[in-house]
Chain A
Amino acid sequence: MSNYEMSKRKSDCGKALRHIVLIIWCMTTVFPLLWVFLIAFKGNNQIFTDPFGIPDPWITTNFPTVFQKLDILTGLKNSLIYSFATVFLVCLLSSMTGFYLAKYARGKLLYMYFILGMMIPVQAIAIPMFVKLRDAGLNNTRPGIILVYTVIELGFAVFVMTGFIKRSVPDELLEAAAIDGCSMVGAFFRVALPLMKTGIATVGTFVFLHVWNEFFFGLILLTNSKLTSLNLTTYKLRGQYSSDYGLLAAGIIVLAVPALVIYAIFQEQVVKGLTAGAVKE
């Protein structure tokens, strides 16, 4: 069967080519991270003389120095507070709103009104947000920034949540609950909420990562260094210590590791969260 062999050989070739392209792709993705990881363990001299070699000697002082000079722990604490508080508020608001939009609303007008928010670039609301918060005395406060993050995540969360509830909470269950005398609020908490766990996990994941990685509003609204997120804390390396490259590299590692650890553990969930809305479930 020479014909068969030929086509098999051809497909083997294709397969090999596919793997080569994918391997090169993955290498370009990983190389910058590995390189900066090694830089973080080098002295400033070796960075210039031997930027690609294995650290010789391995210098570990960059990490304690970063923690000490930048108050990384405060940044970490703030980032955790902002992320978890926003996740809680957005999940609560979007699951309630989504529940109404998916099950009670007539027509699509209100739904369209909410998902309009997804298309609004942050700059278009940044100045009024800044002014409103300042006038309410909420700039440079934790509730202020959490409010802002909740607001900017809300439109997208409502969009994802409404779609999810439409698909996974059956009307029949709600009708049965209503016949049994269950109130609307009761039906939401006892019947719908347990069925919405996956949706809440998806929304929670992307809100967490968005807030964890947010930079723009943090820069505008948090000038008090006790309140800055980890992102903004590390960014100071660019200004104050911008010629101490080992230190900068260590800062990058400190900033990247939490996100990478979360990704490694909850891989499927993170991918689902970050592609939510663009991908049919």
Chain B
Amino acid sequence: MRVAKKKRWIPFVVFVVPALLVYTYFIIYSIGNTGYYSLTQWNAISEPKYVGMKYYMDFLKDKDFHMVLRNSLLNVVISLIVQVPAGLIGGYLLYRTRRFYKLYRFLIFIPVVLSASAVALLFTLIFHAEFGPVNALLDWAGLSHLTHSWLSDVKVVFYVVMIPMTYQYIGLYVIIQLSGMQSISEDVIESATIDGASSFRIFWNVVVPMQKGVTMMCSVLIISGCFKAFEHSYIMTWGGPGYSSSFLGVYMYMETFVKGNYGKGSAIAMIILVGTLACTMAVQRIFREEE
């Protein structure tokens, strides 16, 4: 739109400056703060003491950090492997379904609407060793040797914490994929059907390639969600036993707000930030290169 040149600053000041100031001060400037704090030893009360790259160097040989980093990366990989295909398949099933379509869609999306803390509390009961349905199901199936104290067994607790996260977010990717598919032109599907393509072939050869952009979007959302993952692990197990079910987000909270080590917490926060951005860019590059 053409606006007289000398007046251009007026709408800028009126419409943008309030949001711009708040956003710059609290988000962009805060990231700079976090970066600076990560180079200091600090308890948030006395003067920060500059220690340089100490915390980052310590991470190289810190066993707790290695476990937490491994958990977070494993969470990213498993979530991508499970949730991306599940979103595509679930979305396609709904897309091809007419009868009860609205009911299915309503039910599949329910967990997305609930708060993470409600879902996490719910799954502390689901995995309860004595009356929880998981152990009961295993007993019933004659697999009693597989029952566990799910929330305190170091060997399995990490995977247990991932289950409510999957339960909660999978519906989101189904619905996102579904919305993408609904914008595919009906002619494309129809002509493929007339050509005798099976439902599976239409999915694999037509829908999946056309959904590439949406699939990339879902992957980015999954990655950023996994790096900042906090509630489910914290509420179900407080990240424990030890740090065995912690992700970087939980580790950052514990070191900062429980142990009072604001410098180390800031360093973990920077790793979360850099990890999110690096993985996101990597995924975008992979999707672009395939074209």
Contacts and interface: CB of A to CB of B under 8 A. Distances in A.
Interface of A: 11, 14, 18-19, 21-22, 25-26, 28-33, 35-36, 39, 47-48, 51-52, 93-94, 96-97, 99-101, 103-104, 110, 114, 116-117, 119-132, 134, 147-148, 150-152, 154-155, 158, 171, 174-175, 178, 184-185, 188, 209, 212-213, 215-216, 219-220, 231, 234-235, 237-238, 245, 248-249, 251-252, 255-256, 259-260, 262-263, 267, 270-271, 274-275, 278-280
A171 B2 CA distance: 10
Contacts of A263: 109-110, 113
Contact of B109 (A185, A209, A271): A271
A255 B117 contact: yes
A203 B17 CA distance: 20
Contact of A279 (B34, B37, B176, B269): B176
B286 interface: no
A251 B121 contact: yes
Interface stretch (B49-57, B62-70, B77-85, B260-268): B260-268
Interface of B: 1-3, 7-8, 10-12, 14-16, 18-20, 22-23, 26-31, 33-34, 37, 44, 90, 93-94, 96-97, 99-100, 103-118, 121-126, 128, 130-133, 136, 167, 171-172, 175-176, 179-180, 183, 199, 214, 217-218, 221, 224, 227-228, 230-231, 235, 248-249, 252-253, 256-257, 262, 265-266, 268-270, 272-273, 276-277, 280
Q: Which of A35, A128, A184, A252 has the most CB of B within 10 A?
A: A128
A11 B125 CA distance: 41
A126 B269 contact: yes
Q: Which of B12, B20, B131, B180 has the most CB of A within 10 A?
A: B131
A237 B118 CA distance: 11
A224 to B, nearest CB: 16
B16 A97 contact: yes
Given A103-B1, A279-B176, A26 B107 contact: yes
A259 B252 CA distance: 29
Given A51-B131, A119-B280, A96 B3 contact: no
Given A259-B115, A274-B172, 8 more contacts: A21-B93, A32-B123, A110-B20, A123-B273, A127-B37, A184-B10, A248-B124, A255-B115
Contacts of A212: 115
Contacts of B262: 127
B269 to A, nearest CB: 4
A132 B26 CA distance: 9
Smallest CB-CB A-B distances: 6 pairs:
A213-B115, A128-B33, A128-B30, A121-B228, A100-B15, A51-B131
17 contacts: A25-B104, A29-B108, A30-B110, A100-B16, A104-B11, A114-B23, A123-B249, A124-B31, A151-B27, A174-B1, A184-B7, A259-B115, A259-B118, A271-B105, A271-B109, A279-B179, A280-B183
A32 B167 contact: yes
B177 to A, nearest CB: 10
A20 to B, nearest CB: 10
Contacts of A213: 114-117
B175 to A, nearest CB: 6
A209 B227 contact: no
Nearest to A14: B199
A274 B110 CA distance: 12
Give the interface SS of chain A, mostly helix, strand, loop or mixed: helix
A139 B132 CA distance: 39
A30 B131 contact: no
Contacts of A28: 167
A155 B31 CA distance: 15
A93 B122 contact: no
A251 B117 CA distance: 11
Given A122-B228, A127-B269, A238-B121, A274 B112 contact: yes
A30 B11 contact: no
Contacts of A126: 252, 256, 269
A35 B18 contact: no
A252 B265 CA distance: 31
Q: Which of B12, B23, B126, B231 has the most CB of A within 10 A?
A: B23
A121 B273 contact: yes
A70 B103 CA distance: 35
B107 A123 contact: no
A161 to B, nearest CB: 11
Q: Which of A125, A255, A262 has the most CB of B within 10 A?
A: A125
